[in-house]
Amino acid sequence: MAIPQELFGEKLILPSILSADFSRLGEQVSEVIAAGARLLHIDVMDGHFVPNLTIGAPVVKWLAPVVHESGAYLDVHLMIDNPDFFLDDFAQAGADALSVHIETCPHIHRTLAEIKERGLSAGLVLNPGTALGAIEEAALFADYVLVMSVNPGFGGQQFIGESLSKLRRVRAMLPPDVALQVDGGMAADTIPSALAAGAGWLVAGSAIYGAEDPAGEFRRLQAMVAPGL
């Protein structure tokens, strides 16, 4: 299923399971959902496009019932070469949204359309060093755009300050109903500036799962972006 349209207009913290304790993954995911998380962010890395290996469709398939039964949704970020080959795998595993990098999709309009044809929300991602011109037209075919504010591959990196200018420029080019997501270095000290630059969905991994009380830290960060939620 796709992410409900009403969530695209909300300010949300998306816990990233990349930084979770995988020996207690179900428990840690359930804790942040119980604390109010609506979207869970999953980073899929192949060791080719980015210098790290993480998880694949089997983990998404295992998590999907845990997440969906609680009324939350799975946002799957494909940091992989040839993502078109794997759209069916992740759709069948239970992803609600798939985001793909402009850097790995020579036929990006087709890739975004194929994600939507599978009943999922389609996201477009650009790396810190990628010029905005690369996505200017393609972004209009996406449900959301993800601006990486670190070089992808690892959690716990420092926020790249120049990303704020990119966020402002991307927000200005997007229709109001297209969500702007930011991923990388999101914590209590960087969230306010990212919000001010136009981000609405903020991915936080180590800030949440590196805290002594991940659920409590999620609530604190969510209160920063949307005090009423």
pTM reported for the whole predicted model = 0.95
Low-confidence ranges of the chain (pLDDT < 70): 152-157, 228-229
For the chain, what is the domain count?
1
Give residue 154's pLDDT. Answer: 63
Give residue 229's pLDDT. Answer: 58
- Residue 43: active-site member: yes
Give residue 212's pLDDT. Answer: 96
**At 86, which CATH number?**
3.20.20.70
Query: Which is catalytic among the residues 43, 46, 75, 96?
Result: 43
Give residue 159's pLDDT. Answer: 82
* The three-state (H, E, C) secondary structure of the chain, written as one string: CCCCHHHHHCCEEEEEHHHCCHHHHHHHHHHHHHCCCCEEEEEEEECCCCCCECCCHHHHHHHHHHHHCCCCEEEEEEECCCHHHHHHHHHHHCCCEEEEEHHHCCCHHHHHHHHHHCCCEEEEEECCCCCHHHCCCHHHHCCEEEEECCCCCCCCCCCCCCHHHHHHHHHHHCCCCCEEEEECCCCCCCHHHHHHCCCCEEEECHHHHCCCCHHHHHHHHHHHHCCCC
| Residue numbers of the domain that contains 112 | 5-225
- Residue 183: active-site member: yes
Query: Which is catalytic among the residues 89, 143, 183, 213?
Result: 183
